[in-house]
Amino acid sequence: MPPVNPRRWWALIVLATAQFMVIMDTSIIGVALPEMQRNLGFSQGELQWVFNAYVIAFGGLLLLGGRLSDLLGARRVFTAGWTVLIAGSVVAAAAQTAWVEVVGRAVQGVGGALIAPSAMTLLMMLFAHDPKELARAMALYGAAAPAGGTAGVFLGGVFTEWLSWPWVFIIYIPIGLATLAAVKLLPAVAPKRGAVDVLGATAVTAGLALAVFALVRAPEVGWGSTQTVLELVGAAALLVLFFVIQKSVGQPLMPLAIWRVPRLGSANLAMTLLGAAWIPMWYFLNLYLQQVLGYGAFASGAALLPMTVLLMVFMTAITARLLARFGAKPLIGGGLLVLAAGLLWLSAVEPTGTFAVDVLPASLVAALGMSLAYIPAMMAAMSGAPAEQAGLASGIVNTTYQVGSALGLAALTALATSMGAEELGNLPALTNGFSAAFTGAAIVAAVGGLTTLLVMRSQNAVTAQQPQRGAQEQAHV
């Protein structure tokens, strides 16, 4: 039995703070986007790179971060991640041009990709001695994610309205330095020998970045243009190369045998489509509130608080009970369909709309769907994995959510732009573009819900199959 760390609960505060800040980094920028657009000269289509630069780096490098955590020691990688995140925050806060801002956000994403998997490894080490303590620690750590999302929405509005938009990045500097000062609370982990699949990490990150770039540029250069076609073909080739590398190298980032884990494929598909629907909704709802309804940054953040509070309450207090009673499949499928209904409701927004009629009820329905689907999809992806592959399964499902977020936002921004969302000041055109994006996101969520209900196996079916698999594995020994 591993030794009990007497400072484990203090260490958990450090790790939960890291989770809180990494998730907040994706939500705190939302209400600041229009102000950043005015100050830095982003076009309506380019503005999404403030979000996507972070997501591409974070999602593309998560598996590499997990591998480095195993090889170099989780505490060392956690420390390096915070150092990188602080550096990216300095660049993002000091940016005077759009593309310097994008670089800063990408550097922040690299830091997040080092922090997230190493924090999970450290948590497992701290509480592995007692399953009950581990469950309690995981619940507290998990609650930091919706709390970070909620705080990000509120603080983004406060900083942008009463200070300035760079403060959404400056806040990471003192908190990061305080975290580095407290890192001695975390257990030291000896490094291990092994290889790092740098080529695989490069291929998957470059493929994702090129795919998003092609989708962002397509409305301007043409969907059928040679440039767009070549970029999409190149992105597909890089992603295929990634899988070829994973099959051929001795120590891959993602051993392909992991996909034999029951429900891993269907749960990751659900997470991809969940990200592709939810993140565009959050992005375009911020723009609708500020660019059409004329809300200031603080009012926009406050308008999104009911939705984020509902998310936090459901994810921390209700979804786990529903999961225990009904299982993952109906919650994932039903949650995605509820999200689709909320998005379809949002697609009816008007240029002369009001928050109480056009935004609040629909956003609450959408948030209910998200809160029903997210944790069950995460658990379904990880529950069938053996203990030695739990970290890998967690890394994959987090990666697919981020990939879906980036590709969904790029594709739906292209759709919104083609339908009028680039015409700042033209409220009917803007609303038409945003409505098209909400409709597209509703279709994505509905496809995810129906596919889950049709394809994903129930927990009973998985449990019944496990003795068979065990007997087959014994027969091959």
Average of pLDDT values for 122-140?
74
Band (404; pLDDT cuts 50, 70, 90): confident
Cα distance between residue 172 and residue 83, in whole Å = 11
By the 8 A CB rule, do 173 and 84 touch?
no
| Of the listed ranges 132-141, 161-170, 253-262, 441-450, the one predicted with least confidence | 132-141
In a 10 Å sphere around its CB, with 0-12 CB exposed, 13-18 middle and 19+ buried, how is residue 113 labelled? buried
Band (390; pLDDT cuts 50, 70, 90): low
CATH of segment(s) 258-477: 1.20.1250.20
Would the CATH topology of 1-187 be identical to that of 258-477? yes
Cα distance between residue 121 and residue 132, in whole Å = 17
If DSSP codes are grouped into helix, strand and coil, which group holds residue 69? helix
Cα distance between residue 157 and residue 458, in whole Å = 42
What would the pLDDT profile of 48-85 be if each residue is shown by its tens digit?
Answer: 788 878 888 887 788 888 888 878 888 899 999 999 99
CA angle (152 as vertex; 150, 154 as ends), nearest 5 = 75
Q: What does the domain layout of the chain look like in residue ranges? A: 1-187, 198-250, 258-477
How many Cβ atoms are within 10 Å of 57's Cβ, its own excluded? 26
Cα distance between residue 46 and residue 77, in whole Å = 32
pTM, 2 dp: 0.80
With a pLDDT cut of 70, the percent of the chain lying above it is 92
What would the pLDDT profile of 134-172 be if each residue is shown by its tens digit?
Answer: 767 776 776 677 677 777 877 888 888 888 889 999 999
Greater pLDDT, 301 or 465: 301
CATH of segment(s) 1-187: 1.20.1250.20
